[in-house]
Amino acid sequence: MLLALATVALAADVTKDVAKDTLDIGVLKNSEVRVVQKMLYRKEGTMEIGATLGVMPFDGYTITPQLTLSGVKHLSENVGLELQLGGGYGLENAVYTELAGPTYQVAVEAYRYLASAEADVQYTLAYAKMNLGGKKVLHHDVYVLGGLGVTLESSLLPAGDLAIAPTLPIGIGARLYASKTSFIKLELRDSMLVEYRAQSQTWGFKQNVGINVGLSVLTGGK
C-alpha cells in the first residue's frame, strides 16, 4: 500500500515538472496552413513558350539529336493544351555501321527521324517545393501528357524513301521555376508511330523516346 502511494506521488511530481517545461504554441489556424501550401507560381490563363534540346538514344540503329519548339495554353493550374514542333537528324549508330560494313554487309531497312508535329493534353499531377540545403526553396510541378501527331522519317538505305507516320505521344515532365515567368523544363517523351516501309512494302512499329531539357517563359495570365 505504501509502495502504491509513493508511486502515485512520484507520478504527480513528474507530471508537474513536464507541465512546467511545456511551451504552449497555441492553435495552428487554417489560414496559416494555407500560407504554407500556397502556390507562388501560377499558370492558369498563361501561354507557355519554350524550346528544348534533347536526344533519342534508345533506337536500335540510330541516335538522334533533336530541337523542339512548343507552345502550351494553360486552361487551369492542372490542364494545358500543347502544340510541339520538332526537328532532328538520326545518325547511324555503331550497330548499324557494323551490320552495313564489310564484315556483315547487311542492308537494314531502318528509318531516321527528321521532323514531327504533335498536339497533346498536359495534366499537372502535383505542385511541390524542395528545400535546397536550407538556403533556397525550389518550386516545381510534375505533369503527364498524351496526344496525337505525325512524324516524318527517311530510310537509311541509299534510296532514302520518306515515311509520314501517324504518331501517339505520351510522356512525363517537370517544370523547375526560376521566376514567376520562367522555368527550366525537363521531359521524357515516347512518340510511338506506325510507318510504311517502301523497300519491304510493310508497316512497321517504332518508338522515338526522347530526353529533353530547355527553357520556357510564361506570358499573359492574371
CATH number at residue 58: 2.40.160.20
For residue 62, the tally of other CB atoms under 10 A from its CB is: 23
CA–CA gap between residue 59 and residue 209 (Å, rounded): 8
The answer as to whether 3 is a domain residue is no
Query: According to the model, what pLDDT value does residue 4 have?
Result: 46
Residues counted in the chain: 222
Can you say whether residue 96 is alpha, beta or left, with left for phi > 0 and alpha for psi between -120 and 50 degrees? alpha
Query: According to the model, what pLDDT value does residue 39 have?
Result: 75
Question: Residues of 120-156 as b/e, b for ≥16 C-beta within 10 angstroms?
Answer: bebebeebeeeeeeeeeeebbbebebebebebbbbbb
Query: According to the model, what pLDDT value does residue 107 have?
Result: 87
The answer as to whether 27 is a domain residue is no
The answer as to whether 30 is a domain residue is no
The answer as to whether 122 is a domain residue is yes
CA–CA gap between residue 140 and residue 174 (Å, rounded): 7
Query: According to the model, what pLDDT value does residue 132 have?
Result: 78
Query: According to the model, what pLDDT value does residue 22 have?
Result: 47
Which domain covers residue 130, as residue numbers? Answer: 43-220
Query: According to the model, what pLDDT value does residue 37 have?
Result: 53
The answer as to whether 98 is a domain residue is yes
The answer as to whether 36 is a domain residue is no
Contact by Cβ (8 Å): 126, 139: no
Query: According to the model, what pLDDT value does residue 29 have?
Result: 54
Burial class (CB in 10 A: 0-12, 13-18, 19+), 4: exposed
Query: According to the model, what pLDDT value does residue 3 have?
Result: 40
Query: According to the model, what pLDDT value does residue 35 have?
Result: 42
Total tally of structural domains belonging to the chain:
1
Of 53, 89, 49, 50, nearest to 211 by C-alpha is 53
Please, what are the averages of pLDDT over each run of 10 residues along the chain (222 residues)?
Answer: 44 48 51 55 95 97 98 97 98 94 91 98 94 83 98 95 98 95 97 95 96 97 73
pTM score, whole prediction: 0.80
The answer as to whether 213 is a domain residue is yes
CA–CA gap between residue 143 and residue 171 (Å, rounded): 8
Query: According to the model, what pLDDT value does residue 31 have?
Result: 52
The answer as to whether 105 is a domain residue is yes
Map residue 56 onto helix, strand or coil. strand
Output the nine-digit C-alpha cell for 129.
517545393
